[in-house]
């Protein structure tokens, strides 16, 4: 007998996802594929790809993310309503040229470099490795 469908209470990506699901999912993925700085790519319904370095804050209706762009050396902070999030992907990043796009975890060398360091300082630490 097939399983009963799970009732959805709203957007699949919500506050709980960013607080409780994504961080351990990133850690589990990295332990499986042996990556220190994974690339977390979030796509919104308008087709925009956001390369997430970290989660800056969460609220009931939106998430604040520190992001990087392949076209810029500086980080940006974006506020994204949950209902606009289409997909979240985690990739290992082996291309040194794009490593600034990676999500900083406590296990990554750049993440350990300076707790609470600014995005620019973490990017500089990552480039120095």
Across the range 21-44, mean pLDDT stands at 91
- Taking only the tens place, the pLDDT of each residue in 45-61 is 999 999 999 999 999 99
Q: What CA–CA distance (Å, rounded) separates 18 from 3?
A: 27
Domain residue extents for the chain:
15-128
The residue that leads in pLDDT, 19 or 12, is 19
Q: E strands within the chain?
A: 39-44, 49-58, 62-68, 76-81, 85-91
pTM over 0.75: no
């Amino acid at each position: 007998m097939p399983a009963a469908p799970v009732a959805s209470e709203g957007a699949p990506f919500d506050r709980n996802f960013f607080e409780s699901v994504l961080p351990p999912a990133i850690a589990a993925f990295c332990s499986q594929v042996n990556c220190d700085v994974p690339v977390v790519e979030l796509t919104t319904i308008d087709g925009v790809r956001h390369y997430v370095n970290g989660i800056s804050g969460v609220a009931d209706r939106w998430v604040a993310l520190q992001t990087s762009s392949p076209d810029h050396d500086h980080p940006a902070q974006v506020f994204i309503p949950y209902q606009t999030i289409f997909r979240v992907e985690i990739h290992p990043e082996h291309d040194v040229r794009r490593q600034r796009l990676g999500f900083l975890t406590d296990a990554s060398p750049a993440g350990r470099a300076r707790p609470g360091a600014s995005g620019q300082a973490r990017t500089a630490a990552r480039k120095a490795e």
